[in-house]
Structure 1
Amino acid sequence: MAEHQPAFGRTQAGARPARAAVEPHGLWHRPDWMNGMADVLLLGASVAIGYALMRLALAMPLFGFREIVVVSPLSQVTTAQLEFAARSGLKGNFFSVSLDEARAAFEKLPWVRRAEVRRVWPATLEVRLEEHVATAYWRAGDNGDTRLVNQQGEVFIAASNARMPVFSGPEGSAQQVLQRYREFAALLAPINAVPATLNFSARQAWQLRLEDGLVIELGREQGNTPLTDRLSRFVSVWPQARTRIAAPVSVADLRYPAGFAVQLVAASSNKAKQ
């Protein structure tokens, strides 16, 4: 009797094949990740909306400036100039205004050397201005352009009719000329001589003209006979020399190592050597 052997690789009639359970993959099938992303997007949207609302609120006229207060005394800058600077430099309100742009607008005014601005709650802009203090007129080259020199030796553009000395020299030499002027003026003070002009040539030679019209040729700086030594020697003997000459002098030439020469007004071609 033959034994019945099971048939491999077959299924019983009518039976369904077995299938293994497969876990779903991908971000969309991870509820914890999806909830986290939703929270992040919601937070970002809330921040963006809040920021937009804040910008809208800050731009409202409610926060506009009501007054501009200048806390420094002014002698040259006018109210009209301040109003012009405020109109051109104040863009925005108390929160949105650029203080750098406001400061630059005030510093463009002719007599303003430096400006400081700050907000004062709730609606005030405080302005502190440092004005130029002019000490001389400045003429550069032969173009006839006249500017002003302040106490720091800085050249600036402004209008003035004050009585001041006149400087001239190469561009960028105003501070050096101012320093020399102060030295020369101090040396001339004992004989009550006041410099009216000081010229510094491109060859680095110095020329003074006094208020009484006398021109003093100082020449170039020399190691063995500095300019101040030559001028000091002139000042020490000039009162007596002027008396002895007994004639109007137009030029005093100090470019000699051990003395000076003078040129008379009546005889411009003759020189008397001291």
Structure 2
Amino acid sequence: MLRVLAVDDEVPALEELAYLLRQDPRIEHVSTAHGGVTALQDMVQMIGTGERLDGVFLDIRMPGLGGLDLARLIGGFPSPPRLVFVTAHEDCAIQAFELEAVDYLLKPVRVDRLAEAVRRLESMTSPAGDSAPEDVIPVELGGRTRFVAQQSVQFVEAKGDYVRLHTVDGSYLVRMSLAALERRWAGSGFIRVHRSTLVSVRHVSEMRFDGGRVMLQVGAETLPVSRRHTRQVREQLVRQFQDRPLPSGAAR
């Protein structure tokens, strides 16, 4: 069960968010704070009393202490709670994910999107030793939300302020930086092969040399590895393939 804090400088928005959170059976307790300064004071008090706080649902544009600045301060806590941004503004998504936000919800908040944010928050606050559910990226498609599973992503391309997720079924444009996604999926088998490309090792079927350059076969695509990343990519792929289980009766 989760204990969360909702933060907004507008009382009606704060009350609505708190109400929706309290309807979710996965949430044990919802505290509220009217603005960033009050939220910071409340969290410092919680730390002092040993009270557990799993997540903070916070607005971005607030007078005095905005959501992004508050998030940076929270990041300095000994055991910082996870962050979910809830805002009417689309232009801060990259900064939010660089701060390792669990999710980025747009107002007015939809019940299904809030439920997904809570699910992701719950998965990331699982007790040590539990197998954490796989990460997913929510993608807005014509008023619908599609959840792209991490394991389905073959490779990712940087596209300015966006990234394009390439899967077997298609590609999806998401507003976040490649650096933020690389940090988010660190340790999950994704490696940087180029300044603008991140590749899932599990989807690499072949590594070869072509004109002095290393090339990777990823699904139906052939992707070049930059010289800067060649050594790291080769070493990681060798380790990955050595760790893969062999078919029954096969020998290395």
Structure of greater Rg: 1
TM-score, normalised on structure 2?
0.27
TM-score, normalised on structure 1?
0.25
Specify which structure has the bigger relative contact order, considering alpha-carbon pairs within 8 angstroms and separated by 6 or more residues. Answer: 2
